[in-house]
Each structure stands twice: as C-alpha cells, then as structure tokens.
Amino acid sequence: MSVFPQYRKLINNKSYYRIEDDNHFTEIQLIGKKAFELKIHAVQFPEKLKIKDMLNCEEPYIRIEQSEFDRVYNSLKHS
C-alpha cells in the first residue's frame, strides 16, 4: 500500500507531479519560462497506467522530494 502524496518528475525536468492517490495527481508543466498546472482524475485505463508507472518510478519518472515540487509549484504564482 502506497503512502500519499508522492512526488515525481520527468528526467528532462519538464513536468513535476504530486500523486494524491491511485486515481488523482497534479502535474506542473514547464514550457519556456511559464508553468502550467493540470489536475488529473484518472478514469481511463491509460491514465491509471501512467499513475502506476509514476509510483513505480518507471522511466522517464524519477522520485523527488516534496520541497522540489513545492519550489516549482510556487513558481506558478510568478508565471
């Protein structure tokens, strides 16, 4: 059983994730100097697989600390 929230990012540092539970996550996408927030409720099978891959740290996802996610999330206020 997983403990939530958990934090991940893409290895290219373009997206950061806060996984709230097995069916919900928040994604911060970095595009140029802008940051965009997406809240995802996984309903379809591909979305559920994405969460599973993130939780298992399958490539291209890597584990990060909450502080790294929070730093990027707080940049939303300034973009």
What are the domain boundaries of the chain?
A: 6-78
Instruction: Identify the band that residue 11 occupies on the pLDDT scale cut at 50, 70 and 90.
Output: very high
Pairwise CA distance, residues 15 & 60, whole Å? 11
Instruction: Identify the band that residue 2 occupies on the pLDDT scale cut at 50, 70 and 90.
Output: confident
Q: Which phi-psi region, left, alpha or beta, contains residue 48 (left: φ > 0; alpha: ψ -120 to 50)?
A: alpha
Prediction pTM value: 0.92
Q: 13-64 pLDDT, tens per residue?
A: 999 999 999 999 999 999 988 889 999 999 999 999 999 999 999 999 999 9
pLDDT for 78 equals 62
